Chains A and B, each alone.
Chain A
Amino acid sequence: MTVELSLTRDPAHIRHGSNIGQPMTRTDGVLKVTGKARYAADNHPPGMVYAVIATSCIARGRVKSLDVAAAKRHPGVIDVMTPAHKPELAEDPDAKGNPFAFRMELLQSDEVRYANQAIAVVIAETLEAATEGAALLSPRYQVEIARVGLDAGEPYTPPVVGIGNPAEVRHGDIDAGIAAASKLTDSTYETPAQYHNAMEPHAIVAVWDGDRLFIDTPSQGMGFAQMRIAGLFGIPPANIHINSPFLGGGFGSKGLISGPQVLGIMAARLIGRPVKLVLRRSQMYGPVGHRPPTRQRIRIGTDDAGQLTAINHEARVTTSSFDDFYEPAADASHTLYASPAIRTAHEAVRVDTGTPLFMRAPGEATGSIVLESAIDEAAFACGIDPLEFRLKNYAEVEPTTGKPFSSKALRQCYAKAAERFGWAGRPLQPKQMRDENGFLVGWGMGTATFPAIMFQGNARAVIRADGKGVMETGAHDMGQGAWTALAQISADSLGLNFDQLTFRSGSSDLPDAGIAGGSGHTATVGAAIHNAGAAVIAKLAELATSDERSPLFGAGNAGVVARAGRLHRRDDDARSESYAEILARAGLAEVDATGSGAADATAQSQYAMHAHGAVFAEVKVDPELGQIRATRLVGAFAAGRIINPLLVESQLRGGMIWGLSFALHEEAVMDHRSGRILNANLAEYHVPVNADVPPMDVITVDEHDPHVNPLGIKGVGEIGITGSAGAVANAVFHATGIRVRNFPIKIEEIVMGLGS
């Protein structure tokens, strides 16, 4: 089953033309705003029943008993899945087959590793009956003391951080750099735990047919999910059909299949009926990954001229008691500022939480707010304007590797954003500016950066006898607009008008498109599409140019261009032939070809590849009550080729709002004794509401990058958070003179800091 979006649209929707570079509105926009886009939990196959997870309310210990009988007596309850009663798995859910296989709780034992962990699943005819059945289980526990927070245990050096990065990186002589400094700032910052709150919680509708499995579930990586499920259930990956046309947000939480989703599949297997399982909002706070809290000490040395002599960035992060994911927070200091000596190091503490995992800009976000705050501190210590300080220490080559950048238009970003913001004339000293109502006004800035990452992805292109085209790729639209951007690339790569193309995506039955993560999906799948399209066009060109009956005969492959469903001779545009004519003459129903996209290892070894940006923020602070409000945000970003400016600006804007959230609002509050999260709901887990989001300017700076990939795409999904969080925090300092080093910035710090 594949979802196919017709790309023939009301011309009103094609506002400025079509294809790459055009600000097209989303092809799936009308479906979404009319409620016709079918998300995973909207599915209701015949005979479907409901599964509800019972979660642990302790963070560490064992489940001693569950009142399964009480749950089963409840009208409507069909069965209760427990460690003692569950389908056999072919693989231990705690096995580590590959670095992307994270341990999950599939009722393999009575052990509790964190609060909100699944301890049973109740299956019932109705959602209400299953929910009450779960409540009736009344678990009894053997409780052990929970390990909570950054000081819960002995810190140790993790084997790697992020995906395979070394825990410690040294460039130059850090001790000499520190010794050479005439000024040294030495600060310790803390960032909070943040939990995934995509609008759409993890959901699955699972249907077994013998040993074939059909699932509707949101996924940022269907290929990975197939492999994992195949391993767990002992069936071939090809037997698993994942349908994932739309995601209500992913942000990394849907990159790997999560325990609760697999529990839905197990429940369906156990009772032999289709099952739907949807996480409650509160159940998102545990089994689907999170951004761990960090404590970061950062020392920055500068000489008399304000030139960096050293950056020593150390981070302590938490990870779970049973698995290894280490937020690479300090790595943020590798690429941005030219310093003769840079050291980054990580240590970790095991706590009783779910395993932290990827959350939009993992490491980059937590590290950026600290680095940008510390750079602000260093600039202030030197008495230099923060922008001038950054320009003074501009990295012409990647500092830790010495590699040239494949492209880097950061200077233009600084200039454009600073001009739009009106940065010039900013007083160096804090607490100098007030608005007409007496509120303190502060201006801060931060540099944004994110690596240009690519994964491995495939696509298949077809030109049919009628001359129209099809592009197929199992890509993932998380709401970022992949249906649209990838279709734009498809149309161009096949030399078709947008309405001559059928774009198929969002299903595991299509060519594997890799993972939609690391801001690399458009680059990866875009390259695959580009290559698939080029291969089909090459076949058509070969058919035409080698056939004497064609007006293109003898032009040679390089001698034709594809446009609007026709091939034209490059040297004589009037000589052309349509795809339909070429296929008809050749007696072919269609031509097809596949293409793949992946990073170019040679280019990667020669160049440092990153997107960059500059963010400027204005905040106002009530001088007595301490309430803070961001009033302006301006960001300029250079991220290679922009496929669709509307979608890109939306990504950047969303990222910048998350940055604002990071600085001022977002935090999971955990009881320091029980390890339970106390604000696992959207009323008390604060993210900015509309009234918190200031007027924003998002500028994209042209950047031609011949090295990253054939299309020159760098990715924009995550960079917006970086730079922005620090810019807002620095603006608060500039408004108040108070340097808050615990995020989010809380009202008491400002109230008590401002004095009465």
Chain B
Amino acid sequence: MMNFDYVRPASVADAIAVGSEKGASYLASGTNLLDLMKGGVSRPSRLVDLTRLPGLDRIEHLADGGLRIGALVRNADLAHDAGFARNYPAVAEALLSGASAQLRNAATVGGNLMQRTRCAYFYDAGSACNRRWPGAGCDALNGENRLHAVLGWSEGCIATHPSDFCVPLVALDAIVEIEGKSGRRELPLEALHRLPGETPERETALERGDLIVALRLPAEAQGFAKHARYIKVRERTSYAFAVVSAAASLRIEDGSIREARIALGGVAAKPWRAREAEQVLAGAAPDVAAYREAARAALAGAKPSGDNAFKIELAQRILVRALTLAAAGTPDRIPALPGSPFSSVAGA
């Protein structure tokens, strides 16, 4: 591994000051960053260790009914917080469907949001990759790409964002609190990750030195707690990234859907909010016909980026399943196999 400086700032302001310098990189638990460094994909000259920053590891209940989650809260701590799992069950299920127990114990909220794509060509320093090397080309495009994007991709990059956590979050209008050189600002999570377009190397809306300090869930997100699920199809029962996943949250009143919140994972360079599908369901009866129509709407703009046409079909079916299960009601406790189709009663 290359030699690098390691600094452990005492305050957020100090962190931003050193983190804004060229070659610096924030280090949370390192479950993603250190792998990238070992593979020679990331070569920061300075690591700015965030893990000792005071005050970023708290879960706070806000006066307006919202929830504020510090960027250093561990994935496992958040998922196992009883109040959190009760109010945001799909988020907790998504968290627990990700990685392994050991990784979740280490991984932070900020790190999960900012984790890089798992595109194998991105990890393989010998391949051409526009994200790593703007203008180099994209070896995934005509390569082994059965798991790549079907929505929002460009010829420049067909990678997906791998996070499970972000999928229900984006559906629930989560907000990211950022501190940077020019002060504090907020961004809807939906605007954090960028689609590749002409500039795949710009993965997020963060500028150099920008630090995510917290994630906020608005009060009304709790309104979906009774009908919320996260379903994830993967290539083994646990410890695998999503082939495709879906988060569905519903507000059902008087036998019809008042409001639906829907997002897909594993399909695009960002957690994919499916507003078209939400519109289809607003006011509809909670039945399979409506779910199918919603699923069609969600994937209407999809196209294969390679050997992955099946993902378009699969995404629709997962969406129908997630909606069916959400409508049936959130289970009392998070299933033993979180997110797994096998943890739930199959449709029809």
Contact = CB atoms under 8 A, between A and B. Distances in A.
Interface of A: 57-58, 75, 115, 128, 131-132, 135, 437-439, 620, 622-627, 629, 664-665, 669-674, 676, 678-679, 684, 686, 688-692, 746-748, 751-752, 756
Contact of A751 (B313, B345, B348): B313
Contacts of A665: 235-236
12 contacts: A115-B126, A135-B40, A627-B341, A669-B120, A671-B121, A671-B127, A678-B144, A691-B239, A746-B146, A747-B314, A751-B310, A756-B313
B3 A132 contact: yes
A347 B318 CA distance: 43
Contacts of A620: 342
A686 B314 contact: no
Contacts of A671: 121, 127, 139, 143-144
Contacts of B314: 625-626, 747-748, 751
A433 B144 CA distance: 35
A439 B342 contact: yes
A756 B317 contact: yes
A77 to B, nearest CB: 12
The B interface, classified by DSSP as helix, strand, loop or mixed, is loop
A201 B39 CA distance: 17
Interface in B160-212: none
Interface in B83-132: 100, 118, 120-121, 124-127
Contacts of B238: 689-692
A625 B120 contact: no
A366 to B, nearest CB: 21
Contact of A676 (B126, B233, B236): B126
B337 interface: yes
Nearest to A744: B235
Nearest to A684: B120
B320 interface: yes
A626 B143 CA distance: 24
Interface of B: 1-3, 40, 100, 118, 120-121, 124-127, 139, 142-144, 146, 231, 233-240, 243, 310, 313-314, 316-318, 320-321, 337, 340-342, 344-348
A691 B237 contact: yes
A686 B346 contact: no
A674 B239 CA distance: 28
A692 B342 contact: no
Contacts of A679: 120
The 7 closest A-B pairs by CB, nearest first: A57-B126, A748-B310, A678-B120, A691-B237, A438-B346, A691-B238, A622-B341
B236 A688 contact: yes
Contacts of B340: 627
Contacts of B345: 437-438
Given A626-B314, A676-B124, A439 B346 contact: yes
Contacts of B126: 57-58, 115, 674, 676
Contact of A691 (B142, B143, B337): B337
A438 B348 contact: yes
A669 B234 CA distance: 17
Contact of B237 (A623, A629, A676): A629
B27 to A, nearest CB: 16
Given A672-B143, A674-B126, A676-B124, A625 B2 contact: no
Contacts of A624: 317, 320-321, 346-347
Contacts of B239: 689, 691
B237 A692 contact: yes
Contact of B235 (A115, A625, A747): A747
Contacts of B318: 625
Contacts of A691: 236-239, 337
A128 B341 contact: no
A688 to B, nearest CB: 6
Contacts of B243: 747
Nearest to B118: A684
A679 B143 CA distance: 13
Q: Which of B143, B316, B344 has the most CB of A within 10 A?
A: B143
Contacts of A626: 233, 314
Given A684-B118, A686-B240, A747-B233, A629 B348 contact: no
B322 to A, nearest CB: 10
Nearest to A435: B346
